[in-house]
């Protein structure tokens, strides 16, 4: 029997939890992630995300209680400052700081020119940079948004009310979250022998000569062979998302993993695929095509405006 054509999942239906906006974010992967976790024989005691990035996976799992607890690991000290501030009970301070900030190019440049005097000030600066730099890219060399959405310039991705609400919502469930700044590979080693821990692994895309990880992240260097070797030793289940590169497929074959291409569309509406890798992907039998920017595909004008506010 012929399979029905792929359906683009409207990611506007995925609750947006993170204060960050990231090119390469994993909002598009939330529906398959839910399927994967619900196919586990029991609810995991802990989900570990060793390369946290844009937070959407860890936050979805925590909010929807798809695991008892979540451990997020991030190496970048600026991104880590945001997580650490929330963990330290500073989410409300951050929310008020965002609400009080008067958006202008001068105020942004003046604020970013100052050295932060505390972790929470560093956290605010990180959110400000993420929301005013092109694509939210925090890596060196990023430039401020010029024209932006509807010609709004540098403030086109600055939604203070939305950002404040997201931070306060996260604060309500922070007892389910734990954060640490550190090396993702070392954390995989620490939980290697625990069968009650599951892992979502979305490493910087630098395998096979890809430059996306280098362009998007300050800490982009990764030994991909070592990562696959660590995953082969894990007692708990894991799932990886990776760039569709021949080197990655070769590593999957080398370690006896299953790799499936998952269709999606990028921010330029170009069809592309990423790889989903694990020990068993039988649960992906009905996988559908997924778009990572739903507001750009087939939404009516009113829905488009709503999606832009809620997806970034």
Cα 82–chain centre separation: 14
Burial level of 111, CB count in 10 A (0-12/13-18/19+)?
middle
What's the sign of the alpha-carbon dihedral 67, 73, 74, 78? positive
Distance CA 64, CA 68 (A): 10
CA gap 284, 281 in Å, rounded = 6
Query: Which is nearest to 222 in space by CA: 240, 207, 241?
Result: 207
pTM listed for this prediction: 0.82
The torsion defined by the Cα of 222, 228, 232 and 233, in degrees rounded to 10, comes to -20
Confidence of residue 291 (pLDDT cuts 50, 70, 90): very low
The answer to whether 292 and 25 have CB atoms below 8 angstroms apart is yes
Is pLDDT larger for residue 136 or for residue 158?
158
Q: What is the pLDDT of residues 147-192, one digit of tens each?
A: 655 556 788 789 999 999 999 999 999 999 999 999 999 999 999 9
Question: What number is the average pLDDT over the span 287-305?
Answer: 36
* Mean pLDDT, range 193-214, rounded to an integer: 74
Confidence of residue 131 (pLDDT cuts 50, 70, 90): very high
Using the structure block, give the residue that is written with the tokens 């086109």: 156
Provide the 10 A C-beta neighbour count for residue 80. 22
Summarised one tens digit per residue, pLDDT across range 44-99 is 999 999 998 788 999 999 999 999 999 999 999 999 999 999 999 999 999 999 99
Could you tell me what percent of the chain has a pLDDT over 90? 58
Is residue 248 within 8 A of residue 240, CB to CB? The reply is no
* φ, ψ dihedrals at 197, nearest 5°: -105, 135
């Amino acid at each position: 029997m012929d399979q029905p054509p792929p359906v683009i999942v409207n990611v506007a239906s995925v609750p947006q939890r993170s204060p960050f906006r990231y090119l390469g974010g994993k909002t598009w992967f939330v529906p398959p992630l839910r399927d994967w976790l619900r196919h586990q024989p029991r609810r995991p005691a802990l989900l570990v995300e060793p390369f946290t990035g844009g937070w959407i996976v860890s936050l979805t799992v925590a909010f929807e209680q798809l695991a008892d607890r979540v451990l997020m690991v991030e190496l970048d000290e600026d991104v880590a400052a945001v997580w650490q501030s929330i963990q330290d009970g500073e989410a409300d301070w951050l929310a008020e700081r965002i609400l009080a900030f008067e958006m202008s190019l001068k105020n942004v440049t003046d604020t970013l020119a100052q050295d932060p005097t505390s972790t929470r000030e560093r956290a605010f600066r990180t959110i400000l940079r993420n929301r005013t730099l092109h694509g939210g890219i925090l890596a060196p060399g990023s430039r401020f948004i010029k024209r932006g959405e509807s010609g709004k310039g540098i403030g086109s991705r600055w939604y203070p009310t939305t950002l404040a609400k997201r931070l306060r919502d996260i604060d309500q469930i922070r007892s389910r979250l734990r954060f640490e700044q550190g090396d993702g590979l070392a954390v995989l080693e620490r939980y290697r022998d625990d069968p009650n821990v599951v892992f979502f692994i979305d490493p910087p895309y630098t395998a096979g000569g890809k430059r996306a990880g280098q362009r998007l992240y300050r800490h982009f260097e990764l030994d991909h062979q070592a990562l696959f070797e660590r995953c082969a030793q894990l007692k708990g289940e894991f799932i990886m998302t990776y760039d569709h590169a021949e080197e990655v497929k070769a590593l999957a074959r080398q370690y006896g993993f299953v790799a499936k291409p998952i269709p999606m569309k990028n921010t330029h509406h170009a069809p592309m695929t990423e790889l989903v890798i694990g020990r068993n992907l039988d649960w992906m039998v009905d996988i559908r095509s997924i778009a990572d920017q739903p507001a750009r595909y087939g939404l009516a004008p009113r829905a488009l405006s709503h999606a832009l506010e809620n997806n970034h």
